[in-house]
Amino acid sequence: MAAIKPSVPKGTRDFSPVEMTRRNYIFETIKSVFRKYGYQQIETPSMENLSTLTGKYGDEGDKLIFKILNSGDFLSKADSAALDARNSNQLTSSISEKALRYDLTVPFARYVVMHQNEITFPFKRFQVQPVWRADRPQKGRYREFYQCDADVVGSDSLLNEAEFILIYDEALSTLGLKDFTIKINNRKILSGIAEIIGKPELIVDMTVAIDKLDKIGMDGVVNELLSKGFTQEDVDKLEPIILLEGSNYEKLNKLRYILSASTIGLKGCEELETIFEYVNRCKLQRATVDLDITLARGLNYYTGAIFEVKTNETFMGSIGGGGRYDDLTGMFGLKGLTGAGISFGADRIYDVLQELNLFPDSVAQTTRVLICCFDKAGEEYALPLLQQLRAENINTELYPAGTKIKKQFDYANNKGVPYVIVIGSDEIESGLLTFKYMESGTQEKLTINQVLTKVK
Amino acid sequence: MAAIKPSVPKGTRDFSPVEMTRRNYIFETIKSVFRKYGYQQIETPSMENLSTLTGKYGDEGDKLIFKILNSGDFLSKADSAALDARNSNQLTSSISEKALRYDLTVPFARYVVMHQNEITFPFKRFQVQPVWRADRPQKGRYREFYQCDADVVGSDSLLNEAEFILIYDEALSTLGLKDFTIKINNRKILSGIAEIIGKPELIVDMTVAIDKLDKIGMDGVVNELLSKGFTQEDVDKLEPIILLEGSNYEKLNKLRYILSASTIGLKGCEELETIFEYVNRCKLQRATVDLDITLARGLNYYTGAIFEVKTNETFMGSIGGGGRYDDLTGMFGLKGLTGAGISFGADRIYDVLQELNLFPDSVAQTTRVLICCFDKAGEEYALPLLQQLRAENINTELYPAGTKIKKQFDYANNKGVPYVIVIGSDEIESGLLTFKYMESGTQEKLTINQVLTKVK
């Protein structure tokens, strides 16, 4: 067989040992915070029925779903007319019944509906699994990537929103971030603003425009608003709202004044105030909470508070986000289940920690001690020592004999092993092991018990 | 939109919180043993190029690979002749470039070849990821399941085989198994046996037959051998070998006598003896090691020692297996890399632990303390306490106020929460919290510091 030069599909990645230890460090930190807050892990299958996913992500989303070809003689059940017309779109559903998960939210909704009789509500679940999207790959955008979500369903208490702020604060502070902002807004406030301007039907255009303030500045926003059907009078009303300044409470007070004629707008202010009250009873570690009226997120989805998290230490898009939605499971026939959720952007957090040099050195250390020897006698002497070290939960390897000692040291260095024990005939005779510190290159003679004390 | 009654594709599963804690317990135990022995984790993409996988698993295997339909107008590049002839098989490669991972071995081989210049050999890697097979689903056989593999490449030392025995022993003992057997054989011994009988060309038929000894008994094996082209004389020679008894060393001595005319057979004996010597220098916890001449496994793949693990506490197929192979990466053009690997059957281990009631109770406990209150004042009083408990790494939840206390207790019981704190107006006034032990139903009044001491 001719050798194939192997590659991975574009947009996908191998994770090598050092990357894995770092990714695990991020995921384990986030998961342990989720658990500390009472969230429980679930997993759903990588493949869902195509009908479960279709129509949930809009037309553009549907195109990005990876479909799985039916097994066996799939053409025998294929739509003949579509085949003859070479119509890929029309053919798909007759040759593909299953598809890869596009996000974790729709599978979670499907899960809740299927398992509703076993679940005790409020149900606080977290889920950390890969998702797949047939997007055009580019820097920072992959066709396979992990999502890292926590959601609560069956509770309308704003305590949940407050706890999400605490979760972001604790997880990101634990990961070593020193300055980050949790932006918060409320979809009801955005509705209220559109209402008092008298253009409720233009709410999507309005929020899409003001969401760009950071990127295109106030002039850009004004131009976009005018081009979308807002009048100069509308813009004059909007501008002071968009440019609202002060503390969160000052902003809230001004908003309440501006929105005094909008019931829904005032409701949004009240919700945010309650969330702030909860959070003020707690001590945040490193997070700043900032009411940001320009924050929009996927409007058709969220109905209450919305969040987005940004680090202030380096330039990077959002590293997390979420919000409240009124109806998660209606698409599968279970109405009236309200919920709220957040998500961490693991790939971006990885890049931030990398750039700020925040991965602890210990994270990359997998093996702590390497035992090197010269021959079979050395190996046999080493084996009980190896077991002693491992019994103390010290990750230890014995390098198979027959390789030059220099190469064994190289192995230790390449693998980031900090300590090496060398066993030759002297060591076997005296019981004193040569113990080498790989970073400094110094060494000393130690008994196995002294080694255990050093390494622990 | 009409509500769809949702389901998952057949052969796939949701994992609910209790199942997840148990699965995590198994995976974390095995992973931490892999790490202790110097194995490092990697992950590869769920999808590989179809050409990477095709032809590696035999014709039957190829049919079981899940193919991913190309995105967009896939028919525009489809094989027209195959379309017109409605030939599914012929069409596939023109409408599908990617496929889901079928096992972890071929992706690992692909990984080693692609990353050969960054890897320090011997390379000890482990990998725990799902694989997908379009098999007919049945009890215990799924279309999506996790594999849990450790392999070392670039070392021909038999120390690696000995360490696999130690890994099985430590991982399964740690999981609470008290009586299990690691069966070991050597492909070279099987070749030697076929050689001395004078039927080397029938080695596959021979091993397939004797592999069934447990199931069909000696008579069945004899009938099968005779039907496959072995003579009565051959069978007379084989029978005492198959029925070999005694300690591992006694069996080895007899085999050496029987195989004295076969160089390859003697080499197999020598390899096993070296492995036993290594293992004898170590203390095994619960495992029995048993030289089993009827153990065959995938013959076309392995070239040296082979393993299979069975629990003796309940009836269950193999819960692990592996062996040495001479050429992992040749299929991708990198020759001469020898390796050895083992695998744990996580789903079966789950069933065994379940049946033997070996999951520790603590595994299912996610939240340790639930704080219950009656109103907003209770919530506000509770929040700093909640933070105090969490600061001590105690998983704690605050149930949102406004729900009857009975329902809050039900929530704690359903979630397996052992302790509940109740905060009403008395508790707020006195600072003495009502602390309830959910299992016994008893309660007492405690300060927050006393609670912390109790729970830690």
What are B91-100's pLDDT values in tens digits?
A: 999 999 999 9
Asked if the structure places residue B106 within a domain, the reply is no
Chain A, chain B: beta-carbon pairs less than 8 Å apart: 289
Among B41, B72, B278, the residue with its CB nearest the CB of A20 is B41
Same domain, yes or no: A28 and A82:
no
pLDDT in tens, B386-400: 999 999 999 999 999
Q: Between the CA of residue A407 and those of A428, B85, B120, B158, what are the distances in Å?
A: 22, 59, 10, 19
Instruction: Say if residue A167 is in the same domain as residue A96.
Output: no
Its pTM stands at 0.95
A110 alpha-carbon distance from chain centroid: 21
Same domain, A178 and A89: no
Task: Choose the final residue of a domain: A355, A387, A415.
Answer: A355
Q: Are residue A312 and residue A425 in the same domain, yes or no?
A: no
Q: Determine the pLDDT at residue A299.
A: 62
Amino acid at A379: E
Contact B282 A160 (CB under 8 A): no
Query: Is A140:A348 a contact under the CB 8 Å cutoff?
Result: yes
> What percentage of chain A carries pLDDT values higher than 90?
89
Q: Is A43 on the interface with B (CB under 8 A)?
A: yes
Residues A339 and A414 placed together within one structural domain of the fold: no
Its ipTM equals: 0.95
Within a domain: A107? no
Is A14 in contact with B114 (Cβ distance < 8 A)? yes
**Which residues of A fall within a CB distance of 8 Å from B48?**
8-9
Smallest Cβ–Cβ distance between A69 and the set B96, B143, B163 belongs to B96
Q: Measured between CB atoms, does B10 come within 8 Å of chain A?
A: no
Q: Are residues A206 and A144 in the same domain?
A: yes
Query: Which residues of A carry a binding-site annotation for L-histidine?
Result: 103-105, 133, 147, 151, 297, 301-302
The whole-number pLDDT of residue B325 equals 92
The pair of three-digit structure tokens given for residue B427, joined into one six-digit string: 């508790």
Contacts of A337 (CB under 8 A, 6+ apart): A112, A153, A154, A327, A328, A329, A330
Q: Give the rounded distance of the alpha carbon of B137 from its chain centre.
A: 18
Q: Which residues of B are annotated as a binding site for L-histidine?
A: 103-105, 133, 147, 151, 297, 301-302
Give percent of chain B with pLDDT exceeding 70: 99
CATH code where residue B223 lies: 3.30.930.10
* Residue A291 within a domain: yes
Q: Nearest residue of B to residue A98 by CA position?
A: B9
Secondary structure (3-state) at B41: strand
How far CA B440 is from CA of A121, B323, B398, B417, B437, in Å, comes to 24, 51, 21, 13, 6
A1, A8, A132, A143: which to substitute to probe chain B, counting the most B Cβ within 10 Å?
Answer: A8
Cβ–Cβ contact B79 with A under 8 A: no
| CA–CA gap between residue A376 and residue A398 (Å, rounded) | 12
Reference B189, options B59, B62, B354, B323; nearest CA is B323
Q: What's the CATH code of the domain at A381?
A: 3.40.50.800
pLDDT digits (tens, 9 = 90+) for A369-425: 999 999 999 999 999 999 999 999 999 999 998 899 999 999 999 999 999 999 999
In this structure, of A178-182, B130-134, B332-336, the range with the lowest mean pLDDT score is B332-336
- CA dist., res. A412 & res. A422, Å (int): 12
Together in a domain, A265 and A293: yes
The yes-or-no verdict on residue B4 having pLDDT over 70 is no
Contacts of A15 in chain B (CB under 8 A): 42-44
Contacts of B35 in chain A (CB under 8 A): 366, 395
Residues in chain B with CB shorter than 8 Å from the CB of A411 are 120, 122
Within an 8 Å CB–CB cutoff, is residue B29 touching chain A?
A: no
Is A394 within a domain?
yes
Question: Is it the case that residue B107 has pLDDT exceeding 70?
Answer: yes
Does A243 lie in the same domain as A382? no
Which pLDDT value is given to residue B1? 45
Residues facing B126 on adjacent strands: B41, B150
Same domain, A215 and A322: yes
Q: B195 and B344 in one domain?
A: yes
Shortest CA gap A152–chain B (Å): 12
Q: Which of A323, A355, A387 marks a domain boundary?
A: A355
- CB atoms A159 and B36 under 8 Å: no
Q: Which of residues 140-159 of B touch A (CB under 8 A)?
A: 143-144, 155, 157, 159
**Number of folded domains that form chain A:** 3
Choose the closest CB to A395 out of B35, B166, B394. Answer: B35
What is the average per-residue pLDDT within A308-325?
A: 95
H/E/C letters for each residue in chain A?
CCCCCCCCCCCCCCECHHHHHHHHHHHHHHHHHHHHCCCEECECCCEEEHHHHCCCCHHHHHHHCCEECCCCCHHHHCCHHHHHCCCHHHHHHHHCCEEECCCCHHHHHHHHHHCCCCCCCCEEEEEEEEEECCCCCECCECCEEEEEEEEEECCCCCHHHHHHHHHHHHHHHHCCCCCEEEEEEEHHHHHHHHHHHCCHHHHHHHHHHHCCHHHHHHHHHHHHHHHCCCCHHHHHHHHHHHCCCCCHHHHHHHHHHHCCCCHHHHHHHHHHHHHHHHHHCCCCCCEEEEECCCCCCCCCCCCCEEEEEEECCCCCCCCEEEEEECCCCHHHCCCCCCEEEEEECHHHHHHHHHHCCCCCHHHHCCCCEEEEECCHHHHHHHHHHHHHHHHCCCCEEECCCCCCHHHHHHHHHHCCCCEEEEECHHHHHHCCEEEEECCCCCEEEECHHHHHHHHC
**Same-domain status, A167 and A37:** yes
Pairwise CA distance, residues B313 & B348, whole Å:
13
Q: Is residue A350 part of a domain?
A: yes
Averaged pLDDT score across all residues of chain B: 94
Closest in A47, A64, A144 to B9, CB measured: A47
Q: What is the mean pLDDT of residues B364-382?
A: 94
Q: Searching chain B, which residue's CA lies closest to the CA of residue A83?
A: B83
Domain residue limits at A425: 365-455
How large is the average pLDDT for residues B295-313? 89
